[in-house]
Structure 1
Amino acid sequence: MNEPTVTELIGQLVEDGKAAAHAEIALYKSEAKLRLAKAKVGLILVVGAIVILHLALIAGAVSLTAALATLVGPLAAGLITWVIGLGGAYLLVRIGFAKIKPAFAPRPELRS
């Protein structure tokens, strides 16, 4: 009987490791595709809702500007609406980044 050499055994081990890694990657890809397929309709509906919300916010800003124009004039009304919109967006971005930042903070060292 001809037994394999250590080099052949290590080569076989490397090939088996590669095959296992490729199988694991294929499994994760397949799982991701399945999850995306299940969520597809929901994602489309959420994107549609965001578009409708955006249109509603634009209509609200235009209405606010038109209503203010009768009180302070069209230019001032536009500026007031612009400042309110930018201020709201700025606050949301600051709060959003404050909530995101901890997720990317360095992890504390594990103590033995």
Structure 2
Amino acid sequence: MGWIYLLIAGVLECLWAIGLKYSDGFTRLWPSLITAVLIVVSLALLSFAMRTIPVGTAYAVWSGIGASALAIVGILFMQEPGGALRIFCIGMIIAGVVGLKLVGGEGSTA
């Protein structure tokens, strides 16, 4: 269940990061409120995931999901550069996240 929480937390991280852009420095009410709720829920789910996934693995996967997904969203929808080297680097982040899952990210955190 921890990995499901972590995946959802990572997706919510992407959404709240986009929300930060649209909140305009927390000067727009509704985007700011939605962003704040997404932040709280994302961090709560990350915390739940850390019950069964080591903190280093959970945080690396959570931030990796956010970093790679937002870079892809930026390329596809926000006219950010998408050269071969940038795409390769995004692939390396994804490979690292998958690698952390494959090498046994679950276990005792004590």
| Structure number, greater radius of gyration | 1
State TM-score, norm by structure 2.
0.41
Give the number of the structure with larger relative contact order, counting CA–CA contacts within 8 Å between residues 6 or more apart: 2
Q: Which has the higher helix share?
A: 1
